[in-house]
Amino acid sequence: MAEPAELTEEMIAELVQVFYDRARLDDDLGPVFNNAVGDWDHHLGVVTDFWSNALLGTQRYAGHPFPVHMNLPIKREHFGQWLALFRDTAEEVLPPEAARLAIGRAEFMAKSFRAGLFPFDPVVPSSATRTKDAPG
């Protein structure tokens, strides 16, 4: 896996921490996260491992994230909100090349999760994911 040379584990940990600090305060996303996560230290560690694997190929995460999200009260509009918040955080916290990589992975993951949770929704062109309300 070709990762940006300037991307570090510390940057990934900061991305995860800052993103969740913001998501937990978000009017729409906060209740979903805050009601689902009991042990935030553990959750942040798991998510950091996930992104370390996704961005650096570290193999620290070997699970399957989709089943964990299947029974959460996720709504269609959450995908655009999650992506907008993730995109803003990645662009702020990571160097440009690393941010582009992380955002691309997040967009793919959101699209996959949305297709799994809402399989009968029409497919939305990827260019529409740049708007806040567009599905991922």
Q: Picking from 33-37, 107-111, 119-123, which range would have the lowest pLDDT averaged per residue?
A: 119-123
On average, the pLDDT of the chain sits at: 89
In a domain, 125, yes or no: yes
pLDDT one-digit tens code per residue, 119-130? 998 866 654 444
| pLDDT tens track for 54-93 | 999 999 998 899 998 888 999 999 999 999 999 999 999 9
Is residue 116 in a domain?
yes
Q: Where are the alpha helices (DSSP H) in the chain?
A: 9-25, 29-36, 40-56, 65-69, 76-93, 96-117
Provide the CATH number for the domain around residue 21.
1.10.490.10
pLDDT over 80 (residue 107) = yes
- Does residue 2 fall inside a structural domain? no
Domain enclosing residue 31, as ranges: 9-130
pTM for the whole structure: 0.84
- Residue 4 resides in a domain: no
* Whole-angstrom distance, CA of residue 128 vs CA of residue 111: 12
How many domains is the chain partitioned into structurally? 1
